[in-house]
């Protein structure tokens, strides 16, 4: 009788160990998925912040609020509120090169 109780105890401890290992693996996988999702959201926000900065700069150029220089390219830095909390946490650096016979080049760099 005592031997059966010992076997049952070993089986129960083994099953609990398997459950704990599976739970830890599930938690790890959930954390990895959360990190991947956060990184994807950051990339999407950065893209749209850069796009908004380029559109804003071009609109200001079109409306005459920014003068087009003859010698140097236009360098402009704006900050964008990407999560609508009232705090601008994303910086967009925009460079517009001088007009050439082929056209102008617009470069936007996002820092978040």
In the numeric block, the tokens 């956060």 are attached to: 38
Burial of 110 (0-12, 13-18, 19+ CB in 10 A): buried
pLDDT at res. 111: 65
What does the domain layout of the chain look like in residue ranges? 2-111
Mean local confidence (pLDDT), 91-109? 67
pLDDT at res. 72: 59
23-63 tens-digit pLDDT: 999 999 999 999 999 888 888 887 887 787 778 777 777 77
pLDDT at res. 54: 78
Check residues 51 and 80 and name the one with the higher pLDDT. Answer: 51
Residue 47 contacts residue 109 (beta carbons within 8 Å): no
Residue 94 CB coordination number (10 Å): 21
Query: Which pTM does this prediction carry?
Result: 0.56
Q: How far apart, in whole angstroms, are the C-alpha atoms of residue 53 and residue 37?
A: 24
CA dist list (Å): 99 to 55, 82, 106:
18, 31, 11
2-24 tens-digit pLDDT: 667 788 889 999 999 999 999 99
- Residue 112, pLDDT > 70, answer no
Q: How far apart, in whole angstroms, are the C-alpha atoms of residue 75 and residue 92?
A: 11
């Amino acid at each position: 009788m005592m031997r059966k109780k010992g076997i049952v105890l070993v089986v129960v401890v083994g099953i609990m160990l398997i459950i704990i290992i599976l739970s830890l693996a599930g938690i790890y996988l959930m954390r990895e998925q959360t990190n991947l999702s956060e990184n994807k959201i950051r990339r999407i926000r950065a893209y749209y912040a850069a796009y908004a900065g380029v559109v804003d700069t071009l609109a200001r150029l079109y409306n005459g609020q920014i003068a087009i220089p003859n010698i140097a390219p236009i360098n402009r830095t704006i900050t964008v509120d990407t999560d609508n909390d009232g705090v601008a946490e994303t910086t967009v650096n925009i460079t517009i090169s001088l007009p050439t016979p082929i056209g102008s080049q617009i470069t936007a760099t996002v820092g978040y």
